[in-house]
């Protein structure tokens, strides 16, 4: 292609500018690559481990659970192993027990808690030809007064074979002798990846960990000459209902699937951040290329005079963008690997996850990186490249040619594009999937812009913003699923960004003028700075756009988190009545439960008036009519109101004690029940019950799922877990002060480090802290995009200084000092940054408030705006603008006066 060489030379002519331009895309691609590599490595590592952990057997027999957490499944009958061993071909039968939360206390009484994984209690596998546990020191435990621990825990926590230690079990605290230490899955090396393992002999494990009810699963080893499928069939034939048999590979892949689900969510969240950075990068590319073309108007005019067609010019610029894109992609992917490594190290330092490092670079990762890096750069450069087409050859001869690109009027094309835009929106609503609504919403905006511009330029420019506002209003008023509403909000935000970006040149001049008035005291430099910012409003607006996006996101996030904190405060203030709150640490969707014996001990304290034990089961039951799995709480319904205010609007206490349940009014409406009705449900062990609705309540602030079972329901079914308590509310006797209450309760909890008693105030503080922590992490990631935007401002300023070389020379010649020139550039930097900041914060507030409105009330119900934060961010924007201007200002001040005046 004719201008290929020119494109290449233009791209590399100024290496500094080339690097800076590609920097933003580079970082975006690097982060995306790092996320993929990191999550791929996690998957690999886990896959390997899973294989190790489930090794040494061929088949597994376990309970069928129609839904819910496997840990809550009904235990297997104690007589089954004998029946299984009678099957021909079965060489070994190994029953297994596994229970979370089994913690040994160290010699000093403190709990040996695992920090990088769970605490697990298992049985010693002595019936398997290939056991998973290998003795390292001492001997395996054989009676209920003995236990063994994994070798790493023994070393880390100073467990000595032969000594006695306390063990926390669901049956309470037991004092046992440590008979030996072992390694897991590998005779040489312990493969327990950060979790701590306690082993007891099988019978004792069943009694202490599973309350004597049964086994958790049974593994079978088959003689190699028998066909696996035949044995499977034979086992299936003799299994009682409610049990199933799996091959080992089935089990391993099932575990891999579960882990993959979790990894994918993790990956999605990280990718969102990477994409935000890429979005900002696109703005930077767009801005830089617009400026470059503006600078090269004469050169382009010359090429046109010499016979280059508009298409050749456009292609040349697109090629230049391609160079930037390719460089950014290749470097970005290369950089992604060390970043992934860093992420792995970071996680290991936080004591989370395995210790290994692998950096798998799959072809998919490279392809995605290439599409993003190159595709984004090209897309961002396309518009300026197209505009360059309109540069006439006369531009080479006259220095005042403007590049105002107006889209030619074309009613046919205009109407078609507008209709396409409207169709896109309608399609989004019809498909009703958030994943489609988001891109369709943005596509609609683009089509509407292209279409309406062919009728009138102004209407075209307004189209993005109008669509954005229309979608915002729809999101606030329509009755759709939360995910759809959020997608609408997202599309509204993106359209609004694009819209404001298009329109901001119209008011950039005036706004920057007013923003700059406080600096008027600095005299002429300030006036020049204010005028300059307004002189090329397009450039000011685009440079500020990137900053606007970054700050808008930060503002939105802080509004949401502040509101979340306010909601939590509100809830705890109004709805929590109990003085104290005892809870185990969080283990995912359910907290770590503790033995009811602890609850009983607290209740027995002289300082305590009464307690309320509550249990939580994340997938506790399933409604028969619509097969929906529900998160259920259970407690003694008669006492609830003394501890919490759930807004009971209607109740019939006579029904309590007979499969009673309190339902939230939304759930009651959904199932068409009132006080006195019945509701059929199925539990994890496949047993069914007709629950009696004994009350309707209005507040979901504590019972977020809306399902509150009476404690008698679980108590009456031996198969049902939880057998442990998850929360205990404590009412203290009159006259007992906080200090004495705390001492008394903590005395009971001694030896159970992972369970804490908190007052209402402490509970609230902890909740606020958690929210703050999450906010900090999110903000750090967002600030990366802000930093990039500031970089964009710096580049713009540098190029603008270059463009005004002659003018700066003139100003110096007539008496401006270097310092005054520096000041001008710095003030301009601050103004551009503040312009973006003010717009960003305004947008962020609007969308933040809309988010809070949309998020269901049981999650966030109060609106709170962190004004302090907002103003601090604006201040930071201003400072950032000043910093961005530092080097350009120095360059400007250093210009030699005569050279500058004679500059072309």
Partner 1 sequence: MNSLTNSLDLVAARSSGATKIYGSGETEVRALDGIDVAFPKGRFSAIMGPSGSGKSTLMHCMAGLDDLTTGKVFIGDTDLTELNERELTLLRRSQIGFIFQAYNLVPTLNAIENITLPLDLAGLKADEEWVDEIVEVVNLKDRLTHKPNELSGGQQQRVAVSRALASKPEIIFADEPTGNLDSKTGTEILEFMQLATKELEQTIVMVTHDPVAASFSDQVIFLADGQVVGDLEDPTADGVLDQMRSIGN
| 3-state DSSP assignment of residue 862 | coil
Cα angle 475-478-484, degrees, rounded to a multiple of 5? 60
Shortest Å distance, C-beta 2 to partner 1 = 5
Distance CA 704, CA 639 (A): 19
Task: Assess contact for 473 and 427: CB atoms under 8 A.
Answer: no
The distance of closest approach from Cβ of residue 416 to partner 1 in the complex, given in angstroms and rounded to an integer, is 25
* 78 vs 302, beta carbon nearer partner 1: 302
Q: How far is the CB of 313 from partner 1 (least distance, A)?
A: 10
CB of 23 to partner 1, least distance (A): 22
Q: How far apart are CA 600 and CA 585, in angstroms?
A: 20
Neighbours of 122 (CB within 10 A): 23
Closest to partner 1 by CB, 4 vs 352, is: 4
Q: What is the b/e burial string over 654-668, where b = at least 16 CB atoms within 10 angstroms of the residue's CB?
A: ebbbebbbbbbbebb
Nearest approach, Cβ of 287 to partner 1 (angstroms)? 21
- Shortest approach of partner 1 to residue 310 CB, angstroms? 8
Cβ nearer to partner 1, comparing 1 with 160: 1
Q: How far is the CB of 457 from partner 1 (least distance, A)?
A: 21
SS3 assignment for 674-688: CCCCEEEEEECCCCE
Residue 837 in contact with residue 550, Cβ under 8 Å? Answer: no
CB of 20 to partner 1, least distance (A): 18
By beta-carbon proximity to partner 1, the closer residue of 799 and 850 is 799
Q: Which of 337, 820, 170, 842 is CA-nearest to residue 549? A: 842
Distance between first and last Cα of the chain: 30
Helix (H, G, I), strand (E, B) or coil at 114: coil
Q: Cβ closer to partner 1: 387 or 723?
A: 387
Supply 355's token pair: 């210790």
List interacting residues with partner 1 (CB under 8 A).
2-3, 5-6, 9-10, 13, 298-299, 302-310, 312, 392-394, 396-397, 904
Token readout for 384 is 């300026």
Q: How far is the CB of 304 from partner 1 (least distance, A)?
A: 7
Determine the Cα–Cα distance for residues 694 and 711; give it in Å rounded to an integer.
Answer: 13
Q: Which residues pair with 611 in a beta bridge?
A: 730
Rounded distance between C-alpha atoms, residue 61 and residue 79, angstroms: 13
Of the pair 396, 834, the CB lying nearest partner 1 is at 396
Contact 278, 284 (CB under 8 A): no
Give the relative orientation of helices 363-388 and 310-349 as an angle to the nearest 10 degrees: 140
Tokens of 169: 């079990």
Q: Do 755 and 584 form a contact (C-beta atoms < 8 A)?
A: yes
Please report how close the Cβ of residue 24 comes to partner 1 at its closest, in angstroms. Answer: 24
**Please, which residue, 296 or 622, has the CB nearer to partner 1?**
296
What the block records as the tokens of 434 is 């958030």
Of the pair 265, 394, the CB lying nearest partner 1 is at 394
Instruction: Look at strands 119-123 and 196-200 and give their pairing.
Output: parallel
Q: Which CB, 296 or 812, lies closer to partner 1? A: 296
Return the number of other C-beta atoms located less than 10 Å from residue 722's C-beta. 18
Name every residue whose Cβ is closer than 8 Å to that of residue 490 and which is 6 or more positions away in sequence: 438, 441
CB-CB contact of 556 with 848 (8 Å): yes
* Smaller CB separation from partner 1, 747 or 898: 898
- Rounded CA separation 468/665 (Å): 35
When the beta carbons of 349 and 404 are compared against partner 1, the nearer one is 404
User: Cα(507)–Cα(838) distance, rounded to whole angstroms?
Assistant: 13
Shortest CB 400 distance to partner 1, Å: 14
Q: How far is the CB of 795 from partner 1 (least distance, A)?
A: 20
Closest approach, Cβ 530 to partner 1, in A, equals 32
* DSSP code for 24: H
Q: How far is the CB of 317 from partner 1 (least distance, A)?
A: 13
Please, which residues have CB within 8 angstroms of residue 539's CB and are 6 or more apart in sequence?
Answer: 287, 290, 291, 294, 796, 800
Q: How many CB atoms neighbour CB 462 within 10 A?
A: 17
Which of 163/309 has CB closer to partner 1? 309
Residue with Cβ nearer partner 1 (21 or 344) = 21
The interaxial angle of helices 248-295 and 760-803, nearest 10 deg, is 40
Min dist CB 314 to partner 1, Å, is 13
Q: Report in angstroms the alpha-carbon separations of 271 from 28, 274, 369, 497.
A: 10, 5, 12, 20
Tell me whether residue 479 or residue 904 sits nearer to partner 1 (CB atom).
904
The smaller minimum CB distance to partner 1, of residues 799 and 833, is found at 799
CB half-sphere exposure, 277, CA atoms < 13 A: 29
Number of H helices, E strands in the chain: 27, 22
Identify whether the C-beta of residue 812 lies closer than 8 Å to the C-beta of residue 528: no
| 298 versus 410: smaller Cβ distance to partner 1 | 298
CB of residue 386 vs partner 1: minimum separation in angstroms? 15
CB of 482 to partner 1, least distance (A): 53
Shortest CB 393 distance to partner 1, Å: 5
Based on CB atoms, which residue is closest to partner 1, 295 or 482?
A: 295
Report d(CA 196, CA 120) in Å as an integer: 6
Q: Which is nearest to 204 in space by CA: 157, 135, 140, 134?
A: 140
For residues 271 and 31, what is the distance between their CA atoms, to the nearest angstrom? 8
576 DSSP β-pair partners: 644
Q: Identify which of residues 305 and 469 has a Cβ nearer to partner 1 in the complex.
A: 305
To which H or E segment does residue 765 belong?
Answer: helix 760-803
């Amino acid at each position: 292609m004719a201008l290929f060489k020119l494109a290449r030379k233009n791209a590399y002519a100024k290496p500094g500018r080339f690097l800076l331009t590609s920097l933003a895309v580079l970082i975006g691609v690097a982060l995306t690559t790092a996320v993929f590599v990191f999550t791929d490595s996690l998957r690999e590592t886990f896959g390997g481990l899973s294989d190790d952990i489930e090794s040494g057997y061929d088949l597994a027999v376990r309970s069928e659970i129609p839904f819910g957490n496997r840990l809550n499944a009904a235990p297997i009958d104690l007589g089954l192993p004998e029946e299984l061993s009678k099957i021909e071909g079965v060489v070994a039968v190994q029953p297994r027990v596994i229970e979370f939360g089994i913690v040994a206390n160290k010699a000093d009484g403190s709990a040996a808690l695992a920090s990088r994984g769970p605490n697990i209690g298992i049985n010693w596998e002595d019936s398997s030809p290939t056991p998973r546990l290998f003795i390292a020191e001492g001997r395996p435990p054989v009676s209920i007064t003995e236990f063994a621990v994994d070798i790493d825990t023994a070393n880390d926590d100073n467990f000595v074979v032969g000594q006695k230690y306390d063990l926390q079990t669901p049956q309470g605290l037991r004092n046992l002798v440590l008979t030996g230490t072992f390694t897991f899955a590998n005779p040489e090396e312990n493969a327990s990846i950060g979790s701590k393992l306690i082993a007891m002999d099988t019978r004792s494990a069943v009694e202490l960990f599973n309350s004597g009810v049964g086994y958790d699963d049974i593994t079978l080893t088959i003689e190699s000459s028998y066909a696996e499928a035949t044995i499977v069939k034979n086992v299936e034939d003799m299994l009682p209902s409610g049990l199933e048999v799996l091959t080992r590979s089935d089990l391993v892949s099932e575990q891999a699937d579960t882990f993959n689900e979790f990894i994918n969510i993790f990956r999605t969240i990280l990718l969102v951040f990477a994409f935000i950075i890429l979005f900002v990068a696109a703005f930077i590319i767009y801005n830089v290329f617009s400026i470059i073309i503006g600078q090269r108007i004469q050169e382009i005019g010359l090429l046109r005079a010499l016979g280059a067609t508009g298409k050749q010019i456009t292609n040349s610029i697109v090629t230049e963008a391609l160079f930037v894109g390719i460089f950014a992609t290749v470097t970005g992917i290369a950089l992604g690997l060390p970043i992934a490594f860093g992420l792995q190290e970071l996680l290991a330092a936080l004591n989370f996850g395995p210790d290994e490092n692998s950096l798998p670079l799959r072809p998919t990762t490279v392809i995605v990186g290439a599409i993003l890096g190159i595709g984004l750069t090209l897309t961002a450069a396309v518009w300026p490249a197209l505009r360059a087409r309109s540069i006439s050859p006369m531009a080479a001869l006259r220095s005042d040619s403007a590049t105002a690109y107006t889209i030619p009027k074309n009613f046919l094309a205009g109407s078609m594009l507008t209709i396409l835009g409207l169709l896109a929106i309608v399609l989004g609503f019809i498909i009703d999937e958030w994943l489609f609504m988001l891109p369709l919403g943005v596509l609609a905006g683009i089509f509407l812009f292209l279409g309406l511009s062919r009728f009138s330029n102004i209407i075209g420019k307004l189209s993005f913003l109008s669509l954005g506002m229309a979608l915002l209003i729809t999101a606030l008023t329509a009755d759709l699923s939360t995910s759809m509403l959020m997608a609408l909000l997202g599309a509204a935000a993106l359209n609004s960004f694009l819209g404001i970006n298009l329109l901001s040149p119209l008011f950039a001049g005036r706004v920057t003028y007013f923003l700059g008035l406080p600096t008027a005291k600095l005299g002429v430099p300030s006036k020049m700075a204010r005028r300059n910012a307004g002189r090329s409003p397009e450039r000011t607006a685009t440079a500020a756009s990137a900053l606007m996006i970054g700050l808008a996101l930060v503002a939105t996030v802080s509004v949401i988190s502040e509101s979340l904190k306010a909601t939590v405060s509100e809830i705890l203030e109004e709805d929590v009545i109990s003085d104290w709150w005892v809870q185990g640490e969080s283990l995912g969707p359910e907290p770590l439960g503790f033995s009811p014996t602890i609850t009983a001990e607290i209740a027995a304290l002289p300082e305590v008036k009464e307690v309320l034990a509550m249990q939580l089961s994340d997938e506790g039951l399933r409604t028969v009519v619509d097969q929906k799995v529900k998160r259920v709480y259970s407690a003694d319904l008669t006492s609830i109101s003394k501890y919490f205010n759930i807004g009971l609007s209607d109740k019939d206490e006579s029904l309590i004690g007979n499969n009673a349940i309190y339902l939230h009014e939304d759930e009651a409406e959904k199932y068409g029940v009132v006080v006195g009705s019945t509701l059929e449900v199925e539990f994890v062990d496949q047993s069914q019950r007709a629950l009696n609705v004994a009350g309707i309540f209005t507040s979901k602030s504590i019972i977020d799922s809306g399902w509150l079972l009476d404690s008698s329901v679980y108590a009456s079914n031996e198969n049902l877990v939880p057998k442990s308590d998850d929360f205990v509310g404590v009412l203290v006797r009159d006259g007992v002060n906080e200090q004495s209450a705390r001492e008394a309760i903590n005395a009971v909890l001694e030896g159970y480090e992972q369970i804490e008693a908190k007052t209402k105030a402490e509970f609230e503080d902890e909740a606020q802290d958690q929210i703050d922590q999450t906010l900090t992490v999110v903000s750090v990631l967002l600030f990366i995009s802000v930093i990039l935007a500031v970089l964009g401002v710096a580049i713009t300023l540098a190029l603008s200084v270059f463009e005004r070389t002659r003018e700066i020379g003139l100003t110096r010649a007539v008496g401006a000092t270097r310092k005054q020139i520096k000041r001008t550039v710095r003030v301009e930097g601050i103004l551009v940054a503040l312009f973006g900041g003010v717009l960003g914060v305004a947008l962020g507030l609007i969308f933040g408030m809309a988010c809070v409105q949309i998020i269901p009330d049981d999650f966030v119900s109060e609106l709170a705006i962190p004004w302090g934060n907002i103003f601090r961010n604006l201040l930071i924007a201003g400072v950032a603008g000043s910093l961005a201007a530092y080097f350009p200002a120095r360059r400007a001040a250093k210009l030699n006066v005569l050279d500058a005046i004679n500059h072309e």
